[in-house]
Amino acid sequence: MPNLIDVRGLSCPQPVLVTVETLGQVKQGEVTILLDTETSKENVTRAGASLGWQVKEVQRDGENYRLTLEKS
């Protein structure tokens, strides 16, 4: 089961900072991030890519996003 980070309700840059910290600890595999804004989704996606993580899946549920990043 992938690691799960819930950063809904946090203001920028907190979603990116929390995600980057977690990605640094996990190192590889899958991490799923729950977000509540398009801006946070885009910023977290870019931050993950800069660390070598790729977007595996993006699901939208109303105003929320479920972003899954992976790295082998």
pLDDT in tens, 32-57: 999 999 999 999 999 999 999 999 99
Q: Please provide the average confidence, as pLDDT, over all residues in the chain.
A: 95
pTM of the entire predicted model: 0.93
Decide if pLDDT at 1 tops 50.
no
pLDDT at position 58? 97
Cα–Cα distance, 63 to 37 (Å, whole number): 7
- CB distance 23 to 48 below 8 Å: yes
Residue written as token pair 């946090």: 10
| Residue 23, H or E segment | helix 14-26
Task: Determine the average pLDDT of the residues in 14-25.
Answer: 96
Q: Which domains are seen in the chain, by residue range?
A: 3-71 (3.30.110.40)
Cα–Cα distance, 64 to 38 (Å, whole number): 8
- CB distance 67 to 41 below 8 Å: yes
